Amino acid sequence: MIVIAGLVLGLLFGASLAKRRKGQTKDMLQYAAAYAILFSIIGLFITIIIHRAAV
């Protein structure tokens, strides 16, 4: 669940960042994809840490 939340937050954050920098549609898509991947990986590590601590 944390991974999915990270994905959505990354999409929103990346797109809004590119829009604030006056990027075109392709820029917004690229930023959204990059931040979605980054936030998903961070969420994955957080999920693993929580899972290991709970066991």
Please state the rounded mean pLDDT for residues 33-37. Answer: 98
Q: Are 44 and 22 in contact (CB under 8 A)?
A: no
* pLDDT category of residue 55 using cuts at 50, 70 and 90: confident
User: How does 2-39 read in b/e, with b if 16+ C-beta sit within 10 Å?
Assistant: beeebbebbbebbbebbeeeeeeeebbeebbeebbeeb
What pLDDT, in 10s, does the model give residues 9-32?
999 999 999 999 999 999 999 999
Separation between Cα atoms, residue 28 and residue 17, nearest integer Å: 8
pTM of the model: 0.90
Separation between Cα atoms, residue 38 and residue 25, nearest integer Å: 20
Domain ranges of the chain: 2-48
- CA angle centred on 43, ends 7 and 19, rounded to 5°: 35
